[in-house]
Amino acid sequence: MRNNCSTLLACVIALSSIFAAEASAAGNHKHVAKSEKGGVTKVYTVQTTRVRHRCFPGKLRVILSHIARQVGRRPLVTSGHRSGGRRGSLHRKCLAADIRVPGVSVKRIIAAARSAPSIGGVGTYCNGIVHVDVGPKRRWHHCGGLARLGRRTTLAAR
């Protein structure tokens, strides 16, 4: 009887250490997507656990994956879905992400984003954050006050 209890206790300890390892691995905020060949690739990381990203549609994940492949590093998502903000913001529909890629220039991130399939808007902010979404094609640069719209948006609005 004592031998059975020892065996059971050893199994419980082993299982709890496996679950603890999985939980700590999940805590590193890396998010994956299945590749076409069935393998798993790390697509992006999130800045904090408070970044709401699990609702990102496949098209947005493809854009983030494309950026990662082009620049050689995973994007860091600083903002995803949010309920507040500007009315009409694609963040409110979980169709947009604000990103940065540490060690990669904003210019290179923008070039990668603009070449992504299904890219909609690409915006930049003075703090180095790049906005990508799956909405209509447009671009802008925002540095406090009103955003200066890119030529495409200005022409499309006419």
Domain ranges in the chain? 29-157
**Can you tell me the distance from the alpha carbon of 141 to that of 123, in angstroms, rounded to the nearest whole number?**
6
Q: What is the DSSP-derived secondary structure letter of residue 91?
A: G
Residue 143's pLDDT band (cuts 50, 70, 90): confident
Q: Which tens digit of pLDDT belongs to each residue from 66-125?
A: 999 999 999 998 888 888 878 889 989 989 899 999 999 999 999 999 999 999 999 999
Question: Per-residue pLDDT for 155 more than 70?
Answer: no
The rounded distance, in Å, linking the Cα atoms of 43 and 57 is 13
Q: What is the mean pLDDT of the chain?
A: 76
Regarding pTM above 0.75, the answer is no
Distances in Å between the Cα of 148 and the Cα atoms of 31, 77, 113, 142, 144 are 33, 23, 19, 6, 10
Specify the CATH number for 29-157; select among 3.30.200, 2.120.10, 3.30.1380, 3.30.70.
Answer: 3.30.1380
Q: 146: which 2 tokens?
A: 């009103």
Query: Whole-angstrom Cα distance, residue 74 to residue 30?
Result: 9
The predicted structure's pLDDT at residue 87? 86
